[in-house]
Amino acid sequence: MKLSRIALAVALTPACVLAEQPLSREQALQLSDTLITASRSVEQRSASSAASTVFTRADIERLRPVSVPHLLAQVPGVQIANYGARGAAYGLYVRGSNTAQTLVLIDGVRADLATGNGAVLQFLNVDQIERIEVLRGSRSAIHGADAMGGVIQIFTRRGDVQGLQPRLRLAAGSDSTFERSLGLSGGNERTRFDLSAGLIETAGIDRTNTSHPTDEDDDAYRNRSLALTLSHRLSDSLEAGIALRDQRGKTEVDNPFGHEDPPGSWIYNPAKPYDRYSLNTTSAWLEGQLSHHWQSRLELGHSENKQQNLDKLFSVSTVNNTYRDSVNWLNTLTLNDGHSLLLGAEYLNDKVRSTNNFAVSNRDNKAVFAQHSYKGERFGTELGMRHDDNQQFGAENTFNGALSYQLNPANQLILSYSEGFRVPTFADLYWPLFDGYQGNPDLTPEKSRSYELQWRSQLGERTELEASVYRTDFRDLIATVTTNDFPWEGTSANINRARVNGFDTTLRHELMGWQGELGLSLVDPRDRSTGDVLPNRAKRTLNLNLDRRFGDFGVGATFTAVSETYASSVNGTRLPGYGVLDLRASWQASSELTLDLKLANILDKDYSRLLYTYSQDWQEYGYREMPFSAMLGLTWTPSL
């Protein structure tokens, strides 16, 4: 049935000639009003049908987030549940979807775990990031599996200056936290590069409320990182490049239940667990303007995500490693009269190595996709389709379409429809019985259909508004089914139906020199079989950012408010809402030296994420978030 949509898309595609040469990716990475991830080619944000948020390098330096999850919490429609302080696990919920339903890319390479849910974004060094693009809403017709709730793409820092530009950053703060990074960027008209190394260390906090005496200590975190990007223009129409990232270290974790010894006995002894991790991605590309109307890009990718779980009190350890290889061939035809066509092919291989001895540990996926876009004076259309052939689950077709209408120069409406799917991870399928949880080899892929209406408006010379109302219907949603209020007990299963109704908006305004940005999200995510709210999703979130410059000085504040949530799918344990206020300041002491100060959770609010209610003595235990903390940093960029 969906194949008829392919025929329709092809039939509507004209054979035309090029209108003009597009902006290169390396140029687009420096701009806040461009977008790459939505159509996998450079376009203006205003011309894209995707609801999006872009963080440039300047935004990152202004906000000074301690981690990528903390930065993503500023996006309307995105919720983050942090299970402890820096370096701890987290939950990512984009428009009511769960963590595994949002695709994460690093320089075009998939970074999601094949042995768990989502990507380990908490381990990425934000000082080595050039740009982050966040798409809200399904993009499976372009990106394939896992892009049901949205897509997040992280770009490694690029060289953007002629000659050489060294940089040094030192920062120190609460809980014996120290950050050091050293970088060098530069280039000429044909070659650009950026090389950086970093070290982050913190004694941390006690991530959970006390259970066993061994659980009372602070949980430390250490991260060593190395990043390199290099691009070279072989000719006026051909460019090659490579991007490398390597993050590795150690993070201590808390387990209030202690260690089950022997396994399966339900007898718990004190424990002092910690994880050793390694995350590295390699992306290489060759991009060329093959003709006046044809731009082609070949991408090769490899990622490795290694996790080793250990315990200081026990000799037993577990290993869960993910390896991915990918090849992408993207072709953009820019046609006359506002028409353009994207054609692509993709190959992906997932491989895992685990002490859990999964029944299946290797699979590949082949895909082809096409999308036609038209941009007229008042109307615009988008029609796309993707065909995936998964070695384990067979064929899947996904479709997307959008219609835009320019009411007047200041107001635009976009109506869109998109389909999505997610293939179960190896852990979903084959995780062995452990601590009351077990995988399910009979799982089927999740599927979704989304409908969205966007309004984009320039309300005034200094006021912008973006608003979206949407609905997503899920089928065969994969979740842990529990028989009581113990969210760690159960097995993976396909919930028959779930739906999410939502609204999110962003308002930007300048008043008396103050730059303000307000983000609001209202979401109602429910299991349609039971009527229960899906766990860890707050119905209301609000973010407010205010910033102003006074000559060489800059000040700013961020306020985040999150309503109550539920800890499990049975809606038994209610997690209270919270509000957090952060303050920041910076001083451009000279052309080479900048000082910055970040005061996080200035009101010292306790917004612990209570996750479970059971222990040997039926006490409640939960994860603690960061109390009030301060960080003072220095950035030196000497001239050569």
| Distances from the Cα of 44 to the Cα of 19, 22, 23, angstroms | 16, 11, 10
Q: Kindly indicate the confidence band of residue 115, based on its pLDDT and cuts at 50, 70 and 90.
A: confident
CA distance linking residue 431 with residue 437, whole number of Å: 8
Q: What pLDDT shows up at residue 566? A: 86
Q: What pLDDT shows up at residue 262? A: 58
Choice between 162 and 520, residue whose per-residue pLDDT is larger: 520
DSSP secondary structure code for residue 236 in this structure: T
H or E element at residue 316:
strand 314-334
Q: Strand locations in 203-313, DSSP E?
A: 221-235, 238-252, 259-260, 268-269, 273-291, 294-311
Choice between 291 and 199, residue whose per-residue pLDDT is larger: 199
Q: What pLDDT shows up at residue 605? A: 87
**Beta carbons of 465 and 507 less than 8 angstroms apart:** yes
Q: What pLDDT shows up at residue 179? A: 97
- Whether residue 89 is predicted with pLDDT greater than 50 in this model: the reply is yes
| Distances from the Cα of 272 to the Cα of 214, 267, 419, angstroms | 6, 16, 44
CA distance linking residue 621 with residue 615, whole number of Å: 8
Of the listed ranges 61-70, 249-258, 297-306, 618-627, the one predicted with least confidence: 618-627
**Beta carbons of 588 and 556 less than 8 angstroms apart:** no
Tell me the mean pLDDT in the region 349-362.
92
Length of the chain as a residue count: 640
**Beta carbons of 396 and 380 less than 8 angstroms apart:** no
Of the listed ranges 74-83, 211-220, 524-533, the one predicted with least confidence: 211-220
| Distances from the Cα of 624 to the Cα of 85, 204, 206, 608, angstroms | 7, 11, 8, 4
Largest CA distance in the chain: 73
Choice between 205 and 596, residue whose per-residue pLDDT is larger: 596
The pTM of the full predicted model, rounded to 2 decimals, is 0.92
- Whether residue 12 is predicted with pLDDT greater than 60 in this model: the reply is no
Indicate the Cα dihedral angle 483, 489, 493, 497, nearest 10°: 50
- What is the separation of C-alpha 216 from the centre of its chain, rounded to a whole number of angstroms? 32
Q: Kindly indicate the confidence band of residue 288, based on its pLDDT and cuts at 50, 70 and 90.
A: very high
Domains of the chain, CATH where assigned:
3-636 (2.40.170.20)
**Beta carbons of 371 and 142 less than 8 angstroms apart:** yes
- Residue-wise pLDDT for 446-490, tens only, equals 999 999 999 999 999 999 999 999 999 999 988 777 655 555 567
Query: DSSP states of 338-403 as a string?
Result: GEEEEEEEEEEEEEEEETT--S--EEEEEEEEEEEEEE-SSEEEEEEEEEEEETTTEEEEEEEEEE
- Whether residue 599 is predicted with pLDDT greater than 60 in this model: the reply is yes
- Whether residue 1 is predicted with pLDDT greater than 50 in this model: the reply is no
Which residue from 424, 459, 456, 429 is spatially nearest to 441, judged by alpha carbons? 429
Residues near 61 by Cβ (< 8 Å), separated by ≥ 6?
596
Q: Kindly indicate the confidence band of residue 575, based on its pLDDT and cuts at 50, 70 and 90.
A: confident
**Beta carbons of 505 and 468 less than 8 angstroms apart:** yes
- Whether residue 330 is predicted with pLDDT greater than 50 in this model: the reply is yes
Query: DSSP states of 594-630 as a string?
Result: EEEEEEESTT-----EEEE---TT---EEE----SEE
501: tokens are 């109704």
**Beta carbons of 256 and 269 less than 8 angstroms apart:** no
96: tokens are 């009511």
- Whether residue 160 is predicted with pLDDT greater than 90 in this model: the reply is no
**Spatial strand order in the sheet of 102-106:** 51-55, 129-136, 150-156, 102-106, 109-110
Residues near 525 by Cβ (< 8 Å), separated by ≥ 6?
96, 498, 499, 500, 502, 533, 534, 537
- Residue-wise pLDDT for 186-224, tens only, equals 999 899 999 999 999 999 988 876 666 667 788 899 999
Please name the amino acid found at residue 201.
Answer: E
Tell me the mean pLDDT in the region 177-188.
96
Q: What pLDDT shows up at residue 617? A: 44
Helices (H) and strands (E) in the chain, counts: 6, 38
For 185, half-sphere exposure in the C-beta direction (CA atoms, 13 angstrom radius) is: 18
Tell me the mean pLDDT in the region 262-268.
56
- Residue-wise pLDDT for 295-325, tens only, equals 999 999 999 999 999 888 888 788 999 999 9
- Residue-wise pLDDT for 143-152, tens only, equals 999 999 999 9
Q: Kindly indicate the confidence band of residue 259, based on its pLDDT and cuts at 50, 70 and 90.
A: low
Which residue from 396, 425, 473 is spatially nearest to 143, judged by alpha carbons? 396
Q: What pLDDT shows up at residue 606? A: 81
Residue 311 CB neighbour total at 10 angstroms:
19
CA distance linking residue 52 with residue 139, whole number of Å: 12
Q: What pLDDT shows up at residue 164? A: 94
